[in-house]
């Protein structure tokens, strides 16, 4: 579709762009004490963008000269990103970490980051892939170091920049090799060119794809591209840590799904399981090894943490490994499972981080000892945190169990050659039970019971319940999520 016609389907991005520009103008003319004006407007703008996503209907097509895909899958990822952003903006208004800082541009930066993730969800051109990742990365660097007077925040931002620049450089080199081999930047044209290649191009194609995988792995915190994650998560403002663990990860997985399904897979990318026979390396097994190493490393190191925030950081690495389990299958069932898990993960992971924000403000820290006896002193907080820990472990009847169930079903149905990945996934789930239940144990079995009961403010209680109730409800009745995912499992495919 040409540029002029593409605008008619680009309404969500246009609404988001208008939100960004107006938010910046409001911030310029508002006094620092009234920065809440910007957050109020941004919330309205993001809700309008979400409505535009749902109301913009058209059969799958491409936009702006085959640079972006317009399809239900992209709309699904955009919706997940917007919902996560709205939650984080609301909790940011209650976080004490931003006291003394002008937060007007903070909300504008979040919106710019959302725009980058929109492009990641739709990118089907190598140039768009790189630009979208860089937009998200640059905003992430700034937001991670937003607490300019906090040395840990400065350290987080600096490490993020160093690792991000290194990963982006490697990925860009891989993209340039792919362009050199195929003479095009369009996904489907690259696919056709790969089919026509002879065996002499195998080494270059393999190396280029490994380099591109480094860029994708950096965005989703996959081993060995995860080194930035624990330090950045620990030093960043906790609302940003929660955000980085959900939204960019969803966009990163969307980008990986498109790339591996539409560039390296034989035929219609979601109707068959098959890799090009002339690719020298066994990509399913490589991705399987990356998945197993990622979840194992994340879980084993999480066990050793004394900081709940750092433990959740390593936990997010492990969850990236769980979602990577189904990538070797490259099947519609695998993509279906990842999409379900992304929705479930949004509720349980944001919920755990939001509880951490409240406890850190009340108890003065984020280590395990600050959770000691918390279940008795703050019963509401203790109950919802227990729900989130159960869900992150994957215990019934929570959304975490449903999410992992579909992941394991997808990998087992793919055939006996993938059983080893399911085996390691099950073992790692058992390992994760230790450190998640350690939080529950600390809240209820450690410390002294207190006669004084603390109840969170009404607004915080509502936020906790909005995340905790779906974490249980959708673990019992998940049909609405299934129907949404089924309707969204439609890709633009150029035959």
At 292-334, the pLDDT tens digits run 999 999 999 999 888 899 999 999 999 999 999 988 877 788 8
Helical spans, DSSP H, in 304-445: 308-324, 332-363, 374-377, 379-393, 399-413, 419-445
Q: At residue 428, does pLDDT exceed 70?
A: yes
Q: At residue 275, does pLDDT exceed 70?
A: no
Q: At residue 261, does pLDDT exceed 50?
A: yes
What's residue 282's pLDDT? 63
Taking a C-beta distance cutoff of 8 angstroms, is the pair 98, 92 a contact? Answer: yes
What's residue 88's pLDDT? 94
Q: Reduced to 3 states, what is the DSSP secondary structure of residue 378?
A: coil
- Burial class from Cβ neighbours inside 10 Å (0-12, 13-18, 19+) for residue 224 reads exposed
389-426 pLDDT, tens digit per residue, is: 999 999 989 999 999 999 999 999 888 888 999 999 99
353-381 pLDDT, tens digit per residue, is: 999 999 988 887 888 888 888 888 888 99
Name, in order, each residue with C-beta under 8 angstroms of 269's C-beta and a sequence gap of 6 or more: 261, 262, 330, 491, 493
Q: At residue 276, does pLDDT exceed 60?
A: no
What's residue 277's pLDDT? 37
What's residue 278's pLDDT? 40
Say how far apart CA 137 and CA 77 lie, in whole Å. 18
**Lowest mean pLDDT, pick from 2-11, 62-71, 134-143, 479-488:** 2-11
Average per-residue pLDDT for the chain: 87
Assign 3-state DSSP to the chain and report helix, strand, coil percentages, each to 5: 75, 5, 20
Percent of the chain with pLDDT over 70: 94
pLDDT bin (cut points 50, 70, 90) of residue 247 is very high
What's residue 322's pLDDT? 94
Q: Reduced to 3 states, what is the DSSP secondary structure of residue 134?
A: helix
What's residue 425's pLDDT? 93
Say how far apart CA 55 and CA 471 lie, in whole Å. 27
Residue with tokens 């279940």: 375
pTM of the predicted model as reported, rounded to 2 decimal places: 0.92
Say how far apart CA 355 and CA 340 lie, in whole Å. 23
Take residue 298 and report the two structure tokens written for it: 């994340």
55-113 pLDDT, tens digit per residue, is: 988 788 888 888 898 989 999 999 999 999 999 999 988 888 888 777 888 899 999 99
What's residue 279's pLDDT? 44
Q: At residue 196, does pLDDT exceed 70?
A: yes
The gap from C-alpha 41 to its chain's centroid, in whole angstroms, comes to 25
Q: What is the dihedral of CA 254, 255, 261, 265, to 10 degrees?
A: -150
Region 168-195 average pLDDT: 89
Q: At residue 49, does pLDDT exceed 90?
A: yes
Region 32-60 average pLDDT: 85
Take residue 17 and report the two structure tokens written for it: 């762009």
Q: Which of 428, 413, 410 is nearest to 485 (CA)?
A: 410
**Where would I find the beta strands (DSSP E) of 172-263?**
none
DSSP assigned state of 61? E
Taking a C-beta distance cutoff of 8 angstroms, is the pair 337, 486 a contact? Answer: no
The phi and psi torsions of 258 (rounded to 5 degrees) equal -65, -45
What's residue 234's pLDDT? 86
């Amino acid at each position: 579709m040409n540029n002029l016609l593409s605008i008619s389907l680009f309404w969500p991005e246009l609404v988001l762009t208008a939100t960004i520009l107006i938010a910046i103008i409001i911030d310029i003319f508002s006094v620092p004490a009234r920065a809440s004006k910007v957050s109020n407007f941004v919330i309205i703008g993001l809700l309008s963008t979400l409505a535009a996503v749902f109301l913009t209907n058209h059969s799958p097509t491409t936009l702006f000269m085959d640079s972006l895909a317009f399809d239900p899958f992209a709309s699904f990822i955009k919706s997940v990103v917007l919902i996560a952003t709205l939650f984080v903006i609301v909790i940011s208004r209650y976080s004490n970490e931003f006291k003394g800082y002008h937060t007007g541009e903070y909300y504008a930066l979040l919106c710019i980051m959302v725009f980058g993730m929109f492009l990641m969800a739709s990118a089907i051109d190598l140039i768009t892939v790189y630009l979208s990742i860089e937009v998200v990365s640059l905003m992430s660097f700034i937001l991670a170091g937003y607490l300019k007077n906090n040395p840990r925040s400065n350290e987080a931002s600096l490490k993020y920049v160093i690792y991000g620049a290194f990963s982006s450089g490697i990925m860009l080199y891989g993209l340039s090799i792919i362009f050199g081999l195929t003479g095009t930047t369009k996904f489907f044209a690259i696919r056709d060119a790969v089919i026509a290649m002879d065996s002499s191009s195998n080494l270059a194609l393999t190396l280029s794809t490994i380099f591109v995988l480094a860029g994708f792995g950096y965005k989703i915190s996959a081993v060995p591209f995860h080194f930035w994650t624990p330090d950045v998560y620990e030093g960043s403002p906790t609302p940003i840590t929660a955000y980085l663990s959900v939204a960019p990860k969803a966009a990163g997985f969307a980008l990986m799904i498109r790339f591996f399904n539409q560039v390296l897979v034989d035929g219609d990318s979601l109707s068959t399981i098959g890799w090009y026979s002339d690719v020298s390396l066994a990509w399913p097994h490589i991705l399987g090894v990356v998945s197993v190493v990622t979840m194992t490393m994340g879980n084993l190191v999480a066990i050793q943490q004394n900081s709940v925030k750092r433990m959740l950081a390593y936990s997010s690495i492990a969850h990236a490994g769980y979602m990577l389990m189904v990538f070797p299958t490259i099947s519609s069932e695998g993509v279906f499972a990842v999409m379900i898990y992304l929705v479930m993960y949004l509720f349980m992971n944001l919920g755990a981080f939001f509880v951490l924000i409240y406890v850190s403000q009340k108890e003065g820290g984020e280590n395990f000892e600050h959770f000691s006896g918390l279940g008795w002193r703050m019963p509401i907080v203790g109950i919802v945190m227990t729900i989130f820990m159960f869900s992150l472990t994957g215990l019934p009847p929570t959304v975490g169990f449903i999410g992992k169930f579909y992941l394991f079903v997808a990998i087992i149905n793919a055939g006996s050659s993938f059983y080893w990945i399911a085996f390691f996934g099950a073992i790692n789930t058992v390992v994760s039970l230790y450190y998640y239940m350690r939080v529950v144990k600390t809240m209820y079995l450690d410390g002294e019971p207190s006669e004084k009961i603390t109840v969170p403010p009404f607004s915080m209680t509502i936020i906790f319940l909005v995340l905790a109730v779906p974490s249980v409800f959708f673990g019992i009745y998940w049909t609405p999520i299934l129907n949404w995912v089924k309707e969204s499992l439609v890709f633009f495919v150029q035959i």
